[in-house]
Amino acid sequence: MKSIEIGDKLPNFILEDQNGNAFNIENELGKSMVIYFYPKDDTPGCTKEACKFRDDFESFSDLGAIVIGISADSAASHKKFEEKYNLPFILLADIDNKVRKLFAVPKSMFFLPGRVTYVIDKKGIVRYIFNSQFGAEKHIENSLKKLKEL
């Protein structure tokens, strides 16, 4: 499957959020978005990344952007993760990795689910991609920088 690249249109998908509701990405068009794929709830690198998104959430909101985290964890796992760390953004359960495959998010180190962040403009066009398993906080810094340029 072809990977999503800069300039591509955001693919349509519907996943369950941490509250058990169907989340349709089409309903978010017209807003800038940061969609980040991460390996697993409540693991050291993923917690660090989620908490950095939390700590900088107001900056994303001020830029009119929504933040969406996606992993293969269940909605119940996401709810616990959200409550434990007071996460103010959307977490989506991609249990069968269908959206990860739709984006063709690569694995890292041959077996770990990849950590990739996409910045999407208001028209649903991918404007930035950052792929790095390590340096989780760079995903947030780079996303904010790109959003400010849009």
Query: Over the stretch 61-113, which tens digit does the pLDDT of each residue have?
Result: 999 999 999 999 999 999 999 999 999 999 999 999 999 999 988 776 556 77
Look at residue 26 in the predicted model and tell me its pLDDT: 96
Look at residue 13 in the predicted model and tell me its pLDDT: 97
Query: Over the stretch 79-88, which tens digit does the pLDDT of each residue have?
Result: 999 999 999 9
Query: Over the stretch 114-131, which tens digit does the pLDDT of each residue have?
Result: 789 999 999 999 999 988
Neighbours of 122 (CB within 10 A): 14
Indicate whether this model's pTM tops 0.85: yes
Please tell me which residue in 35, 46, 105, 136 is annotated as part of the active site: 46
Active site residue 51: no
Q: Has residue 9 got a pLDDT over 80?
A: yes
Question: What DSSP line would sit under 68-123, residue for residue?
Answer: EEEESS-HHHHHHHHHHHT--SEEEE-TT-HHHHHHTPPPBTTTBPP-EEEEE-TT
